[in-house]
Amino acid sequence: MGLGGSRNLWKRQNRHFGHLRGEDYSSLVFDNRGVSKSAKPNCRYSTLDMAKDLVELLRHIGWLDTDSHYYPRDLNIAGISLGGMIAQEIALLIPQRLQSLILISTAPRLIRTVHTFEHMKQRVTMFLPTAVDVELKNKASRLFTRRYLNAPDTGSLDPEKTFPTNLDRFVAEELAERCEDTEFSRRKGVVLQAIAAGWHHKSDADLARIGDEVGRTRILVMHGTFDETITFPHFELIKAALGDGPEYIAWKDCGHVPLWEREEEFNETMFVQFFLLAPALAAAAIDRKAIVESFNIVRTEVPKVIDNTTTPLQVGNGDFAFNFDITEKLEDYAGVPVVTHGREVIYDLEDPKLPEISKWLSANPNRINLGRISLSYKNETLSSITEPRQVLDLWNGVTTSSFKVDGEDVKVVTQGDFDTDSVTFDIESVLIFEGTLRVEFDFPFPPIHKVEKTSDFEVFMGSYRFPDNHTTSIVKPEIDSDDTAHIHHTMQETQYYQNLRWPKESPLTLRRIGKQNSNTTNAHRYGLFPAAFGKNVTRANGLSFTAQYSLKLQRPSLPSSIRRRNSLDWQRYWQEGGFVDLTQSSNPNATELQRRIILSQYAMRINSAATGQPPQESGLVYNGWWGKFHMEMVVWHCAHWATWGRSKYFDRIFPAVYEDLLPSAEARARRMGWDGARWPKMTELVTKGIAPGETRAYLQWQQPHPIYLAELAYKANQSRETLQQWDRTITSTAQYMASFAWFNNASGKYDLGPPIQGVTENSSPTEISNLAYELAYWQWALNAACNWKKRFEQDCPSAWSRVAENMASPPEYDGLFAPWIGGGVNASWWDNPQLNKDPRSVIMLQGMVPDTPLVHLHRPISLETGGSS
């Protein structure tokens, strides 16, 4: 912190790195001795003493292991003003631990750079008691430029609570802090800190030693050219002593606190510094970049490859994706009873007496397409486009589309953003200059879902046939800005904003194209145009903008900022976790397998890395099954994160999704007469409701998944915390599984079903039982649940172990496992092309389920079945 400043000076960066990027960084901010919450000793102390305070704190929280002989460079130390002086001392105390050293608006020693009278005036103003309002305005003028203080509020912590100016925000936050802390910045502490700063002295030799021991390429020095607290010549002192190697940034027309005045650029600079100096990966011998880039997607044909009927290319972040080509009372429903082993069980089947309600329950609530962004040229169609080419750069997450329109070149570069639900565009064409090519935004309404099965799937971009069902409008923020615009979209109880931003030097104008309140398909269409050309604005053959979708009216990041961090984020993604290199394999299938590995990991990062829930089966490409996720698919979509060593994406979803659904799952099991939690096949997290249907009612292979996923979580983090996080979910899951299996007196074994539906969903659920995969998975999961309890030093419930030990054997015919018993196809399953064309379940029996006695005792049959599959 700076002189007299508290830890709150860093709150914007703490939020950016410690919260928004908390999966990658841990952030520590603290109060130096003498101010705010820290101790305030009466004796004189030095910057070295304050540095030792920090070293002791780092040891206390476990960031410095004194017993280890291995010293990783994993600490990024950033200090501003007095904090920068303390950071210099840290660099001399523990240089071997620093991944990077960032010195901001600081000095190796204080030198007089202004006239004596001005120097004395500054010091008197700083320490002379005055009224609070005068004191705060004086403090603000020392820290910030007048231009920044008079500018509209740019505080990023709460965009809805804006102030007229940055000065007003600064004063308000200072007053709020002082009200919360009655001991805020005691004058004694400030004076003693000032003495420590005055006594701080690092010679050129000291700085050279810092450069040698930390490593000059690990050092970043930043200073504002208008800094009136520690003037710019101090920056030159550091630069002269350290010489070549460090990165030096002089923030033009910036005051003492660039982390506020230039917040966005400052955060990006810090992020780049952290990223470039991240510890080298153990697997660095693999040229990951070359392998990934060798599978860049290139599309060049129309209409066979690039049109509205093909799978679009994507950019995005897991929660949001942009897809592009070249161009009756509900309470009446109560379920349907089915006689099951001598008793009626209420299943979530479609009620033939209430077809509309049954379909409504399946289709609602549903996901929506947020909007369409397109290029419009004289209202022409795809036939005007020639020589198309799309290239998806996988390593950087960038797609470049180029084509000709009536013989003129058009180039569009598209990127997503890991941090926000945003997409950026850079469009180049002389047609922009001529005014014949423009950007358009449109907002769809969800399709009207009918009872027919075909309505399970939605067209890529929603429906534009219901303009009267929703509203859109251009809205203005409280503080006008010449580089942003906002569109508000309302659909019944759902509403959100499309926030736009562009570079100030290339201004744009947003206008409504469709007529408001009309019933035409373009009623909610808007256009983005180059602004009227005037002073300091040059006409260009292109435009650049960010489109962000948000529940709040916000000021998005500039396209240049997103471009920079998006590429670095994708590079980090490819370099973290495990990697498979098949380039040296002589197997003729190796290249195709490598391609699938690479492309699937790109697709998974965009479609299966959401926060709090797994994806729908169609990911973020379009809405299938009304956008609801399927619980039986979560292992396919999300378990791989743990096995690739990318647990942070796994932890975004699990166990939170099961914790959210647990109360409704337990209620469902009770209603059906079973113990524990009956996990649904298809659901969502808004209502956590049912989706009536035969397959959804009878499917069971999603039931053991929580135990399987918990085992992966425990392998990644073998701690009591992991055990506690998953214990209730595992307990309820195992309770249901043990109670669902029914004891067959004739065989003396526990059977599954009927009714029960299998993995391939092509059987008769009321006629079949004892599905091979489910039997093995059931046994393994109950045994794993017992082992989980043993880790807790608890006894395994007898029902769990009894069912596991006495599960029926998987059905077999002619030396091969068959998927199920019954349904009239027992022995003929392997001879029926309509059935054996999808042998997933017998493959999963050996490929997914860990070794379990039911399979182990039939090893020859397992191997023979695998070969036949």
Mean pLDDT of 262-267: 88
Angle between helices 47-60 and 187-199 (to 10 degrees): 110
Q: Which of 703, 689, 698, 678 is nearest to 628 (CA)?
A: 689
Mean pLDDT of 488-502: 93
Of the three residues 575, 599, 626, the one that is the final residue of a domain is: 575
pLDDT-derived band of residue 696, with 50, 70 and 90 as boundaries? confident
- Can you say whether the dihedral through the CA atoms of 825, 831, 834, 836 is positive or negative? positive
Mean pLDDT of 412-427: 94
Can you give the pLDDT at residue 124?
Answer: 54
> Cis peptide before 477, with omega less than 30 degrees from 0?
no
Measure Cα distances from 45 to 30, 94, 187 in Å: 18, 20, 15
The string of pLDDT tens digits covering residues 785-802 is 999 999 989 999 999 999
Name the β-bridge partners of 415.
398, 424
* 525 assigned to some structural domain: yes
Measure Cα distances from 427 to 398, 414, 539, 548, 705 in Å: 14, 9, 14, 17, 46
Residues 403 and 461 in one domain: yes
Residues 621 and 544 in one domain: no
pLDDT-derived band of residue 864, with 50, 70 and 90 as boundaries? low
Q: Which residue has the higher pLDDT, 456 or 227?
A: 227
Residues 548 and 691 in one domain: no
Can you give the pLDDT at residue 612?
Answer: 87
Of the three residues 534, 552, 575, the one that is the final residue of a domain is: 575
* 624 assigned to some structural domain: yes
pLDDT of 96 > 50? The answer is: yes
The string of pLDDT tens digits covering residues 107-118 is 999 988 765 555
671 CB-side CA count, 13 A = 17
pLDDT-derived band of residue 666, with 50, 70 and 90 as boundaries? very high
pLDDT-derived band of residue 820, with 50, 70 and 90 as boundaries? confident
Q: Which of 93-97, 165-169, 179-183, 653-657 shows the lowest mean pLDDT across its residues?
A: 179-183
Can you give the pLDDT at residue 493?
Answer: 86
Q: Which of 15-19, 233-237, 764-768, 784-788 shows the lowest mean pLDDT across its residues?
A: 15-19
Mean pLDDT of 526-544: 73
* 771 assigned to some structural domain: yes
pLDDT of 9 > 50? The answer is: yes
Task: Tell me the C-alpha distance between 63 and 90, whole Å.
Answer: 14
pLDDT-derived band of residue 332, with 50, 70 and 90 as boundaries? very low
> Which domain does 791 fall in, by range?
608-868
* 210 assigned to some structural domain: yes
pLDDT of 350 > 90? The answer is: no
Q: Which of 349, 337, 343, 350 is nearest to 739 (CA)?
A: 343
Residues 792 and 825 in one domain: yes
* 238 assigned to some structural domain: yes
Domain harbouring 48, CATH code? 3.40.50.1820
Task: Tell me the C-alpha distance between 500 and 405, whole Å.
Answer: 26
Mean pLDDT of 353-372: 70
pLDDT-derived band of residue 335, with 50, 70 and 90 as boundaries? very low
Can you give the pLDDT at residue 832?
Answer: 76
pLDDT of 537 > 60? The answer is: no
Mean pLDDT of 398-411: 91
Can you give the pLDDT at residue 270?
Answer: 85
Residues 651 and 524 in one domain: no
**Residue for token pair 């210099």:** 88
Mean pLDDT of 428-450: 84
**681 secondary structure, DSSP code:** S
Residues 555 and 655 in one domain: no
Residues 260 and 307 in one domain: no
Domain harbouring 743, CATH code? 1.50.10.10
Q: Which of 394, 416, 391, 311 is nearest to 601 (CA)?
A: 394
Can you give the pLDDT at residue 857?
Answer: 67
Residues 236 and 313 in one domain: no
* 366 assigned to some structural domain: no
Please report the DSSP string for 743-764 in residue order. EETTTTEEE--SS-B-TT--S-
pLDDT-derived band of residue 41, with 50, 70 and 90 as boundaries? confident
Mean pLDDT of 667-678: 94
pLDDT-derived band of residue 176, with 50, 70 and 90 as boundaries? confident
* pTM (2 d.p.): 0.77
pLDDT-derived band of residue 349, with 50, 70 and 90 as boundaries? low
pLDDT of 480 > 70? The answer is: yes
Residues 193 and 317 in one domain: no
Mean pLDDT of 747-757: 93
* 348 assigned to some structural domain: no
pLDDT of 346 > 60? The answer is: no
Residues 629 and 553 in one domain: no
The string of pLDDT tens digits covering residues 583-639 is 989 999 999 999 999 999 999 999 999 988 898 888 888 777 778 888 999 999 999
Residues 553 and 648 in one domain: no
**Percentage of the residues of the chain whose pLDDT score is greater than 70:** 82
Q: Mean pLDDT for the chain? A: 83
Indicate the number of domains in the chain: 3
Domain harbouring 466, CATH code? 2.70.98
Burial 794-806 (b: 16+ CB within 10 A, else e): eebbebbbebbee
Q: Which of 348, 351, 356 is nearest to 689 (CA)?
A: 348
pLDDT-derived band of residue 328, with 50, 70 and 90 as boundaries? very low
Can you give the pLDDT at residue 451?
Answer: 46
Residues in the chain: 869
Can you give the pLDDT at residue 268?
Answer: 84
**639 secondary structure, DSSP code:** I
The string of pLDDT tens digits covering residues 763-787 is 888 888 888 889 999 999 999 999 9
* 353 assigned to some structural domain: no
Of the three residues 218, 247, 276, the one that is the final residue of a domain is: 276
Q: Which residue has the higher pLDDT, 590 or 868?
A: 590
Residues 108 and 243 in one domain: yes
Can you give the pLDDT at residue 678?
Answer: 95
Can you give the pLDDT at residue 843?
Answer: 77
Task: Tell me the C-alpha distance between 855 and 862, whole Å.
Answer: 7
**Percentage of the residues of the chain whose pLDDT score is greater than 90:** 44
